[in-house]
């Protein structure tokens, strides 16, 4: 699953470019990996809504929940669907808009120095084996390209935005994931 150094896209990821990214601040090193979860509508899987959401093309009329998020402009670098399919929205060296108001080790604006990976899921439903396998492989590739991302620099969205965010949630098996990384 090698990262293509020429353009910072994963070789095996489907590319779906999001407009919701920009350049990182000059001199900002990539040193944090943030794990998220998302499902659209909440608790439902499939349908392509996450891709549409990250492209600002969410069909608002198709579900009442969509009206409440229609103005948001967000993205993540990567999405791992329930099947294990990987979608990349933003080149790894660019700043995706995934963390929002956030702080890690006293440094605010985690988007400046992090890579965001979304897992299709919810806080309270187990993630699939395919998702864990892909997440582990992708993490290892990212760590090889960005060696500052050590095990202690892999966090959940809830860790950098406590009280505001809860993902990846209690259903995410941190022990399983981190054990396979070592």
The residues annotated with a catalytic role in the active site are: 118
Instruction: Kindly report whether the peptide bond that precedes residue 41 is cis, defined as omega within 30 degrees of 0.
Output: yes
List Cβ neighbours of 175 (8 Å cut-off, separation of 6 or more): none
The torsion region of residue 64 among left (phi > 0), alpha (psi -120 to 50) and beta comes to alpha
- Comparing CA positions, the residue from 66, 43, 44 lying closest to residue 56 is 66
Instruction: Kindly report whether the peptide bond that precedes residue 39 is cis, defined as omega within 30 degrees of 0.
Output: no
Pairing relationship of beta strands 32-38 and 78-80 according to DSSP bridges: unpaired
Helix, strand, coil percentages for the chain (3-state, nearest 5): 25, 20, 55
Which helix (H) or strand (E) segment is 66 a member of? helix 66-69
List Cβ neighbours of 88 (8 Å cut-off, separation of 6 or more): 9, 10, 13, 14, 15, 16, 77, 78, 79
């Amino acid at each position: 699953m090698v990262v293509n150094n020429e353009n910072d896209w994963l070789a095996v990821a489907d590319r779906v470019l999001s407009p919701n990214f920009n350049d990182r601040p000059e001199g900002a090193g990539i040193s944090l990996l943030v794990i998220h979860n998302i499902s659209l509508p909440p608790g439902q899987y499939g349908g392509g809504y996450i891709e549409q959401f990250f492209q600002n093309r969410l069909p608002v009329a198709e579900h009442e929940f969509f009206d409440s998020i229609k103005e948001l402009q967000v993205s993540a670098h990567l999405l791992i669907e329930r099947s294990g399919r990987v979608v990349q929205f933003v080149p790894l060296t660019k700043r995706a808009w995934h963390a929002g108001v956030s702080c890690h080790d006293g440094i605010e604006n985690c988007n400046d120095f992090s890579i965001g990976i979304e897992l299709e899921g919810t806080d309270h439903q187990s993630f699939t084996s395919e998702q864990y396998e892909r997440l582990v492989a992708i993490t290892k590739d990212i760590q090889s390209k960005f060696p500052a991302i050590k095990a202690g620099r892999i966090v959940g969205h809830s860790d950098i935005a406590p009280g505001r965010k809860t993902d990846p949630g209690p259903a995410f098996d941190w022990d399983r994931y981190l054990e396979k990384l070592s």
